[in-house]
Structure 1
Amino acid sequence: MSDLHSWPLHFLIPPLRKQVNRIFPHCLRRHGGAHKMGWSDLPADLVGAIAGRLATELADLARFRSVCRPWRSGSAAHAARLRVPRLLIPMMSYDTSTERLVWSLADDRLRDAPLPEAPGGHSFVFASHHGWILTVVAGDGGFKASLVYHFTGVSEQLPRLPSSFGGDGGGRLTFDSLSWDWSPQGVVVSPGKGAFFCRPGDGSWRSVGCSSAAVTSVTACDGALYLFDRKTRSATVVDAGTLAVAAVIEAPALEIPRWQRDEIEANLVVCPHELILLVLSKLHHPWCSGWPSFCKTFRADADPGAVTGGRSPSWSEVAGIGDRAVFVDNLRAFCVEANDHNGLRRNCVYEASSYHAIDDDFDYSFDRYGRMYSVAVLDFANHTTESLTFGSLVKLWSPGDGQCSSWLMPSYRNLH
């Protein structure tokens, strides 16, 4: 292991560099000289102090944790504290400009989300649970697509999206029906019917699944693509290697009153070793009372590996999701471990939604039409709901049609 003077310190922000240089000689004297001590021998309290100062800089903390195993274990609590989804909110203007904000669940703060400028059309952004953001620029040249990793600024160009993403050509584009996901095998994206896939380096998109089938969310997991329809509660599973349909997951039998059927929606949560289906009443407004009047959770009797092998699972109703929280937005649903470090509530669903509203107090001459944003938490233990739409979030107003918000989850795998 190198000593302090031969090891590059560019991964540390300047104030911490000075701290380490000041403290390290004292550590050497305490441990009997430089020849007996290396970077992995730094005291655990010092490692923890440095990691604590990096608690808001995800990229710096990831580089810090990659130095050696003792540093990784010594900063585990600080890393877990950052493993909390943030809400990406695209604030559209009446012109073509877009202000991107990130709302923090932990402290109710809004921060700017600087992304590369994309001149030449309206820009749309869609977050994900692995840190990547899909950006789509709608202009005269079609729909330019790219991936941006928000926490480092790294970007990657994708082929232009097919023309079907423009809908029927009527009205202003909102891409509210778009869903997508990323995996090491490639990117899958859907305009609302059918789906398209491209591998790294591909020059075009390839159709996957049934081109006329409704797709409201897509999830990529362990070499498979799950194309899910929230209304029918069924999913088509596509092998990401061959792009052939591997299985069809049918919905569980449910007794839903006819008058309530249009008010129910489902979300498929795909974990590496588990499939979960959430069936809930729709959340129409952040302050609506009595939500949800319908709430059921199902677990498949087969893991994703068995499903991709051709087995269609059956569903069993369960009481909840254990020591986890599920995050739901317009794109997908995903699980996050709830623990003492990240402050998430166990056995709960965090649902982000948006709704159109008219502000008739804006001006005496005309009403202001736009989109507002909300987050609500459903507790499976007692089926109660709490609105988190207060403070910073309730003040946001996106003029015009706006765009849906989406959860953005930090991932250390994409930072090294």
Structure 2
Amino acid sequence: MLAPPVPEMSMETEHGGHEEESAMLPCVAFASEHGYKFFSLAHMRMLNSVDVRPMPPVLGRRLVPSPYGGMVLATDVCYRHPCHLVDPFTGSRAPLPDLPIPFSEKEPVGCLSDEPRLRCARVTDDGLAWDWSRRGVMVARGDMAFFCEHGGERWMPVHQSKLGSPMTVNYRGGLFFVLELRTLKTTIIDAGTLQARTKIPAPPGFGDVDYAYLAPSTDDAILLVHRAGDSDGVVFTKAYCARHRDSQRPPRWRPVLDIGDRAVFVDGAHGFTVTADPTGAKANRVYVILAHQLTHPCGRLAVAYDVGFTDLTRLERMGRLNLNTGEVEPMWGRPHWIIPRNESGRR
């Protein structure tokens, strides 16, 4: 088993040095009955065995990519399969300890060795989120975020959320960004020291929120919020920006309608920004992965994925890229964004 390879870099970069934002378009990654699949937005086609290493389907396994760096966390909550990182573009794998137990729980859910396996394992709502740095992996489950160094054998608690809130975890530019979804408080953790560098309080008067997406970049972060009771059919109803680096004041969210020459990509696990390009992502847009439920005459259910986009100034209008990703059974879980390692500029 190999430790996950990482690009050569100095410790100054790991502890907050600047990195260039890429204009590279990501891939849509999703599990299927035919293995793990990738649709490249850069080439507008499905990638084949020449581009990626085959990852066979395994019932009950959860596969969650990190958008930058091309790594996928493979695990499942019933502890039937070992937890590990895998690079689907090179085939390298690195073992991880079993997922840690949140402080709000006493013990994992038991699973007898002779327990019959379901054809479709249920997805539990344990709030799993993760990302990785050159030093190791951060995982959030329930109300706790943990860290494990590459090659390590244990998870160390590094952050506990308020009110038992689930979290999202994003890594960018030597920092982990931990967003608490119930309180909308963001803690920025130094990836080298694992100490909180700063905190961003919730936007003023945010009220009840259905969901929120955090997309950090080197110098600032974008927060997209969908308030409860607001318009249906839109991904978010308010956008905020906060500068977290080289600022004379503590970072605060401010409403924005313009994020400059950038585009935002979000899914249920991560968010990130890319530089706009005439042949790539368009400026001031937010891109999301859409799942269309299909019912065949025989009663078989299927899902087809597409990409939708909306401008920050016209949230009610969503365009579509009309991808041809084929159909998959809905039992295989959610799609995510991923950028191949050699194209991601991972730091």
Q: TM-score, normalising length from structure 2?
A: 0.74
From 38, 43, 46, the counterpart of 1:110: 46
1:263-282 to 2 correspondence within 5 Å? Answer: 264-280=210-226
Equivalent pairs counted in the alignment come to 309
Deviation (angstroms), 1:345: 1.1
Q: Deviations over 1:52-84 (max 9, x none)?
A: xxxxxxxxxx9xxxxxxxxxxxxxxxxx78x21
Matches of 2:235 and 2:218, distance apart in 1: 30
Report how far residue 378 of structure 1 moved.
0.9
Q: Which residue of 2 aligns with 1:239?
A: 190
8 Å contact kept, 2:63–2:74: yes
Equivalent position to 1:88, from 21, 25, 29: 29
The residue type paired with residue 157 of structure 1 is P
Q: Is the 8 A contact 1:368 1:399 kept in 2?
A: no
Contact 2:74 2:85 in 1 (8 A): no
- 2:168 aligned partner, one-letter code: S
Pairwise CA RMSD of aligned residues?
A: 3.7
Residue type at the aligned position of 1:403: G
Secondary structure of 1:160 counterpart: coil
Q: CA deviation at 1:338?
A: 1.0
In structure 2, the partner of 1:153 is: 91
**Post-superposition shift, 1:336?**
0.5
In the TM superposition, residue 218 of structure 1 has moved relative to its aligned partner by 0.4
**Deviation at 1:391?**
4.6
For residues 257-296 of structure 1, the C-alpha deviation after alignment (integer angstroms, 9 at most, x for no partner) is xxxx45x4322221111122222469xxxxxx97439632
TM-score (ref. length: structure 1): 0.63
Q: 1:407 aligned to 2:343?
A: no
Match of 1:182 among 132, 144, 161: 132
The reply on whether 1:345 has 2:282 as its aligned counterpart is yes
Q: Which runs of 5+ in 2 are unaligned?
A: 1-6, 8-21, 112-117
* Structure 1 residue 102, shift from structure 2 partner: 0.8
SS of aligned partner of 1:412? helix
Superposition map of 1:20-35 within 5 A: none
* Counterpart for residue 19 of structure 2: none
State the alpha-carbon separation in 2 of the partners of residues 173 and 211 from structure 1: 26
Pick 1 or 2: higher relative contact order, CA cutoff 8 A, min separation 6. Answer: 2
Query: Can you list the C-alpha shifts for 1:319-343, whole angstroms capped at 9, x where unaligned?
Result: 2211111000111110001113x42
Alpha-carbon distance change, 84 to 276 in structure 1, aligned in 2, over 3 angstroms: same
Match of 2:260 among 322, 327, 333: 322
Report the equivalent of 1:221: 172
Deviations 1:169-213 (A, max 9, x none): 699343663221111121111234322211122111112201674
Report sequence identity in percent: 28
Tell me if structure 1 keeps the 8 A contact 2:35–2:56.
Answer: no
Compute the displacement of 1:167 (Å): 7.1
Q: In structure 2, do the counterparts of structure 1 residues 384 and 411 end up closer, same or farther at CA, with 3 Å as the change threshold? A: farther
Map residues 371-382 of structure 1 onto 2, 5 A cutoff: 371-382=303-314
Decide whether aligned partners of structure 1 residues 211 and 293 sit closer, same or farther in structure 2, where only a CA change above 3 A counts.
closer
Larger helix percent:
1
2:240 maps to a residue whose letter is F
Code of the aligned partner of 2:188: V
| One-letter code aligned to 1:385 | R
The alpha-carbon distance between structure 1 residues 158 and 132, as it changes in their structure 2 partners (threshold 3 A), is farther
